[in-house]
Amino acid sequence: MELWAIWLIVAGVLLIAEMLTLTFYLLWIGIGAAVAAVIALVVPDSLIWQVLAGCLVVVVLTLYTKPITRRFRTSGEYKDAVDDLVGKTGFVLEAIVPGKPGIVKVGNETWSAHAEQQLSDGDKVIVTARGSAHLLVQKAEGDD
C-alpha cells in the first residue's frame, strides 16, 4: 500500500475519533496526517519530510488555537451540555465504591461515576459535579 494512502487512513480515523470526543486535539493531529499524505504524494520517498511537515502543522495549530479555544470556553457564553447534568437525579446501575467508579443513569444516558460514599445498585443519586468523562454523585436526600 502506498504511504500516502496510509497517512490518509490515519487522518480519517483521527478525524472520526475527534467527532466522538470533541477535544480539538485529535483534529490537529488528523490535519497533520493529511498534510503528511500530501507531502507523500509530492515527495514519495521522503518519510522524514512527511513526518516533519505533519508534526509542524500539529504544533502550529496547537500553539495558535489554544488561546482562542481557552477564550471561547471562559467567555461565559460557552456551556457544555454535560454541565446541565449537575443537579439532576439518576440511579445507580453498577455499585460505586469510594475510589472505584460505578455506572449511573441520568435521564437517558449512562455515565461512569465516582462518589465519596458507597452506593448500591438502584440507589437514587444526585449529580454534584462533572469531570471530563465521569460524574461525581452523592446519595439523594430522602432515599434510604
Q: Which residues of the chain have pLDDT under 70?
A: 72-82, 142-144
CA torsion, points 53, 59, 65, 71, in degrees to nearest 10? 180
Q: Residue 78: what pLDDT?
A: 55
Tell me which of 33, 50, 74 is where a domain ends: 74
Q: What is the number of helices (H) and of strands (E) in the chain?
A: 3, 5
Separation CA 133–CA 144 (nearest Å): 28
pLDDT in tens, 56-77: 999 999 898 878 777 766 666 6
Instruction: Output the pLDDT for position 86.
Output: 87
Final residue in a domain of this structure, among 74, 92, 126: 74
Q: How many domains does the chain have?
A: 2
pLDDT of 75 reads 61
The residue segments making up the domain with residue 102 are 81-139
Find, among 98, 135, 129, the residue nearest to 116 by Cα.
98
pLDDT at 131: 81
Residues pairing with 106 in the sheet: 109
For residue 126, CA distances in Å to 82, 83, 97, 109, 129 come to 14, 13, 16, 14, 9
Q: Check whether residue 30 and residue 56 sit in a common domain.
A: yes
User: So what's the pLDDT on residue 77?
Assistant: 61
Return the CATH number at 101.
2.40.50.140
